[in-house]
Structure 1
C-alpha cells in the first residue's frame, strides 16, 4: 500500500501557487483495508475515502473505461492491482497527471513538468475525447493560468473540437456546465474561458445567445473595438478589476445579449437592445440553472445600463423611476453591484479602459439624497394612503433635482 499526492496539488506546488486542496491516490489497497485503518468511505461511483484526521480525500488508484455516452458513462476498475501510471493515464492534462511520493520525488510519466516549462495545456492520451466535461475544464484552466502565459496545445484544441462536433457536450448536465462556468468567471481572466470555448465551437451548444455576438457591429464612435463579442470580452476583463462577486461578473457577461437580436438592417445601431435582451438572459439562465441572484442582477443591468451611461441627461423623475424599479430602497448592496457592472461596461471599450466614469457616482449620490427623505415627516403633515407615496416621490424628485442643478453649476 503506497500513497501519493496527485493532480492539482502537485501542479500548483511546482508552479509555486497556493495549494487549496490536496488529493491523494492509494496504490495496492482494497476498500476493506482502507476502512480497517479508519478511513471513511464517501465515493458513490468509485472508492474515495476521507482521512480519519485530516479529512483529505484518498482515492484508490483506478482505471476507467468508456461504456456509454456522456461524462458519467464509464466503468471503473479500482482493484489493488491498478498501478500509479495506469491511474495517471486516465487524467485530462499532462500537468494534472503527476504524482509526488512522501519524500517529495515527482513521478511524471507523461512529461507534465516539460509542459509546465512550455506553458502548454496538453492532453495525456486520446482517451481525452471520452469525457466531454474536459472541454470546459481545459477552457477553465486556460483562464486560470493565462497570467503565466499558458495556452492550449493545438492537438488538444483539435480533440476539443472533435468532442463538440460529435455532439458530446449535450450529454453534460446543466449543473456541471454552470459549476465549471462559475469557477471560470471567478478567475482573473474569465474572458479566456469563453474565447477558448469559442475557438473549439463549444459556445454554440450551451451559450448560443453569447456566441452570436461576434461579428455584430457597434457604432465606432462609442465602440472603437466595433465587434460586440470583442466588447463583451473587454467588459469581462474590466469587471475583474472591480468585483470578485459572481453575480456582478455574470451580469457583465450577458448585459448586451439584446444586441444579438437587433435586425441586421439596423446595425450598427441597437436601439431597444436593453429590454430586448431580457428574454435572452432568462433563457440562458434557465438553461444553465444560474442562481436567481445572478439572473436578477443581470436582468437589471441589461434593462438599465444605458440609463446610467446617460445619467447626466436624465430627468430627476426618470432617475427615480430607475431607483424604484431596481428596488434600491430594500437592496442597496445589489444596486451598488449594478453600478459596478455598468462601470465595467463603460470601460470595456478600446481607449475607454481607464475613464473615471462619474456617472455611477452621480446615480449613487442621487440615491443617497433620495433615501434621506423623511417619510415620517410626510405622514406628520397629514398625508394618508396613496398620497404618502405620491408626496414621497415628489420629495425625492426634488432632492434629485437639487443634485442635478448643483452639478450643472
Structure 2
C-alpha cells in the first residue's frame, strides 16, 4: 500500500501558496484494509475515507466512466490494480494531476509542473469532456490564478467551446453552478470567471440573464479591487440589470442564498444613489433611507455606501465621495437618535407625529450634509 499527497495541496505548495487542506490517494489497497486501520468511509459506494486522527480524505486509486448526462452520472472503479498514473489521468487539469510521495518525490506524468511554470491551465486528457462541471472549474481556476498570469491553453479553450456547443452544461445541477461561481466571487479576479464563460458562449446555459457586458465587468473589477466581500461583488452586477422580480427569479433558479439576493435587489433599487457623484437633497435622501428600512436596519445604508464607494474607488472623485460618506453616516446616526416619544410629549399624534418625525429627520440630514 502506497500513499500520495495529490491535487490542490501539491499545486499550491509548488506555487508557494498556503495549503488549507490535503487530499491523499492510496494505491494498492482495498477498502477493508483502511477500515481495519480505523478509517471511516464517506458514502456507501464511493472509495473515500477519513483518517481516524487528522480527518483528512484518503481515496483509493480509481478510474471513472461516464454513465449518463450531467455531472453526477459516473461509474467508479476502485481496485488495488489501479495505478497512480491511471488515477491522476481522471483529474481535470495538469496542474491538479501532480502527486507527491511520502519522501517528497513528485510524480508528474502529465507535465503539470511544466504547466505551472508556463502559467497554463491545460486539460489532462479527452476524458475531461465527460464532466461538464469542469468547464466551470476551469473558469474558477482562471479567476483564482489570473493575477499570477495563468491563461487557458488554446487546445483546452477549444475543448471548452465544444462542450458549450454540445449544450451539456444545461444539465448541470444549479446548486453546483452556484458553488463554483461563489468560489470565483471570492477569488482574486472574479471577472475572469465570467469572461471565460462568455468567450465560449456558456453564460445562457449556466447563468441565464447574466450577459457580462463591458460595463458590468468594469464595475465588477472596481468592486473586487475595493472589497473582498462576495455579496458586494455579486450585487454590483445588478446595479443596472434586471428588475427586482427578475433578480428573485434568477436567485431562486440557482438556489442562491437570500443575503446575496437581498444585496442585489438593494443595488438595483438604488441605482441613482450608487452611480451619481452628487448626494441627493435631504428630502430625497430621507425617502431613500425609509425605502431601505434604514431606521430599523442601518446596515442596509452601509451596503449602499460600500457599493457607491466601490463605484468611485478608482476615480478622481474618491476623496470627495469618502467625505460625503463620513457626513452621511453621522447624519444617519443623528437622525436615528431622534425620539418619537419626545415629539409625542410635544403633543404630536397619529399622522401628525409621522410628518413631524420625517420633517425633523430631513432637517437633521440637511444640516449635516452642508
Asked if these proteins are the same fold (TM beyond 0.5), I'd say: yes
Kept after mapping to 1: 8 A contact 2:226/2:313: no
SS of structure 2 residue aligned to 1:20: coil
1:13 counterpart = 2:24: no
SS of structure 1 residue aligned to 2:123: coil
Kept after mapping to 1: 8 A contact 2:71/2:131: yes
Query: Using the alignment, how far apart are the partners of 1:171 and 1:256 within structure 2?
Result: 29
**Structure 1, unaligned runs of 5 or more:** 214-228, 259-276
Partner of 1:403: 368
**How has the CA–CA distance of structure 1 residues 99 and 354 changed in structure 2, closer, same or farther, with 3 Å as cutoff?**
farther
1:383 counterpart = 2:367: no
1:196 counterpart = 2:181: no
Partner of 2:331: 366
Kept after mapping to 2: 8 A contact 1:11/1:96: yes
Partner of 2:231: 247
**How has the CA–CA distance of structure 1 residues 114 and 310 changed in structure 2, closer, same or farther, with 3 Å as cutoff?**
closer
Partner of 2:299: 333
**How has the CA–CA distance of structure 1 residues 26 and 354 changed in structure 2, closer, same or farther, with 3 Å as cutoff?**
farther
Q: For structure 1, which segment, 175-184 or 158-167, has the greater mean C-alpha deviation from structure 2 after superposition?
A: 158-167
Query: Using the alignment, how far apart are the partners of 1:284 and 1:206 within structure 2?
Result: 11
Kept after mapping to 2: 8 A contact 1:135/1:160: yes
1:51 counterpart = 2:17: no
TM norm structure 2:
0.94
Kept after mapping to 2: 8 A contact 1:142/1:193: yes
Q: For structure 1, which segment, 42-51 or 352-361, has the greater mean C-alpha deviation from structure 2 after superposition?
A: 352-361
1:355 counterpart = 2:318: yes
**How has the CA–CA distance of structure 1 residues 193 and 327 changed in structure 2, closer, same or farther, with 3 Å as cutoff?**
same
Kept after mapping to 2: 8 A contact 1:97/1:108: yes
TM norm structure 1:
0.86
Aligned pairs for 1:50-129 (under 5 A) are: 50-129=50-129
CA shift, 1:145, in A, is 0.6
Q: What is the number of equivalent residue pairs in this alignment?
A: 368
SS of structure 2 residue aligned to 1:254: coil
**Structure 2, unaligned runs of 5 or more:** none
CA offsets per residue over residues 145-166 of structure 1, 9 Å max, x none? 1111000011111111111111
CA offsets per residue over residues 324-343 of structure 1, 9 Å max, x none? 11112222223212221122
RMSD: 1.8
Kept after mapping to 2: 8 A contact 1:311/1:362: no
